[in-house]
Structure 1
Amino acid sequence: MLNFYLFPISYAFLTFPIAALLFTLPFLIVQYRKHGYIHKYRAFILYLFLLYMMNAFYLIILPLPPSIHNAPPNVSSYMQWIPFHFIQDIMRETQVNPGVPATYLHLFKERAFLQVLFNVLITVPFGVFLRYYFRVGWVKCLVLTFCLTLFFEITQVTGIYGIYDYPYRLFDVDDLMTNTVGGMVGFIAAEWASRLPLIPRIDKLDEHVDLSKKRVTYTRRGIALLLDWLIILPVLTVLVVLGFQYSYVTVMILYFLVIPYITNGRTFGKWVVRIRLKGKKERLMLRELVIRYGLLYLFVGGLNVLLISVNTAYFHGLMLVLFAFILFVLDLVFAIHVVRCIFNRDRQLFYEKKSGTGHVIS
């Protein structure tokens, strides 16, 4: 029976890196937006919660039938509605003699008892996370644990929502009860454990943090840039399709000069991750923005756009090849410069140094 549980757990650990990679971007956005920075312990707890949820889900759905056209289970009903039916199963299968205490250990070798124990244990971590990290009360913990186990049962009895022709596991009201009990056991255990001095309190993690002294990382800036370009690219595409002249220059000026000047250094992406541009004074000057984004998007970016959109009727042959080669060298130098700045905190990007601007947490 142990192998029956180890198989799904091994798959959860194998696929966890993929899930963690997909989880990282929304995790970073939420943490930057909510807390203003990334706390390593908070990140550890949330990734641990993700790993637990994957293990719990895989334990419920695995192993899968060999084909989606599976045979119907040999039962009279797909649902077991009798509460505490597991007691009858244990009494029917047990080798325990109530008058002989030495036989009590047989319980831990019997399928019916171990299944009930598993159903309790599988949601204990869920209750722990709800109480310790998410700081919910016992009523919410009860409701959320019940909803989680109801989701598990419905997933099973519907053959993973119609993927399989027939259910390969059955709906059991006893599972609802024992899973919910497990969540409440976890809630009580977390309430006790949270009083231990060795375990950090989640609500105290940000108590002595000064956001004004924290460095804005390139990861955070990269996310802001990604969010900004998710807005810019569709707009640029529409303008190009419509044949709007100077669409690139127009969008760059509006988005990276006009908007940050009005919002004092914020674009949509920067607003989401709670950062803004700051110049030599508290109020960002237009001159600083012109130098910063003129060098970045109108010089470096503009030359690349020019190469793409150049009219070969006027600019061709050796001149075009020479221009492409010079631009390649320029892009290579710029890329090396960016990499050096990323790995050396004391170095500044050239357009930041020339404009006297930088990022601060807002």
Structure 2
Amino acid sequence: MQSPDTVHYSLVPFHFIWEIIHSRSIVWPQPSTYVRVLKDSVLLQAAFNFLLLLPFGVYLRYFFQHRGNWKKALGLGFALSLFYETTQITGIYGIYNCPYRIFDVDDLILNSTGALFGFIIAPVILALFPSRRNLIAKAEKMQESPLVPPMPQLLAVLVDYLLIKISWTLTLGLFSTSEFAEFLYTTILFVILFAVVPFYWGGKTIGTHILRFNLTTLDGGTPPWPSFLKRSFALYLPLAASWLLRFFNGIELDMDSKLYPYHVWISVAAIAFLFMMWVILVIHVTVVLFKKGKRNFYFDDVANLVPRKNNV
């Protein structure tokens, strides 16, 4: 139970700045202590609140398209933040008999500012993703092209990957058991087989050649080398992330080490991230299989590539 005089709100704007300035971790006459502010809990909480609605601002820019709608983005960011704060101070609207977190005006300011900042920088982020117009055009081109069933596409990737593993086993794998050496070898061969080979072979890898299809642009032309590089990166990213987690977990630290708690938390976060990533990939593959070729796999989609049957 909370005491009757518990304060459930903070209505002083920018109070977090005052808390940072008066933090005990910083001795202002000693500049060497200034770096401690980066680990200060008040600053970290403020940074999190700023970043919380930044993705929401990016989505609003994608939705509104025009930068002149920044006032709407700021207002919607404020409204969403106010919803959060109201939910907290009312104890989820009466479910709990007291607030489970204070109503903080700084949270409103930081959340709203983060949404506005996301709206402003959205073009930089959205440049990495296809626009709605491009998605519609891509869907139309996909309908016009001869469909390649998704299963042969997966088998082609599997064939190329198995070639990499077999080549390691029959060459350097005979003389080395180093995981780092295998990781480096696999990375180099991945780029060669999935980027270099199709660029010089008319959009075909060894796997796609066996399964009788090749990779083209939306218009049916020969893709440029960056497209193949993007595809190889998209394919290799899940595997590389799993390798890096294995390397990181292989680091042994004494439990008395100051770095040990960070090692544990980073490991937990990385495992959770990888678990979610592989779950999403399994769902994605399942959806594409059920669509029977009417939807691209993510690795072809990000590279703007279309699998097309070879002319026989």
TM-score, scaled to structure 1: 0.36
TM-score, scaled to structure 2: 0.41
Name which one, 1 or 2, has greater alpha-carbon Rg.
1
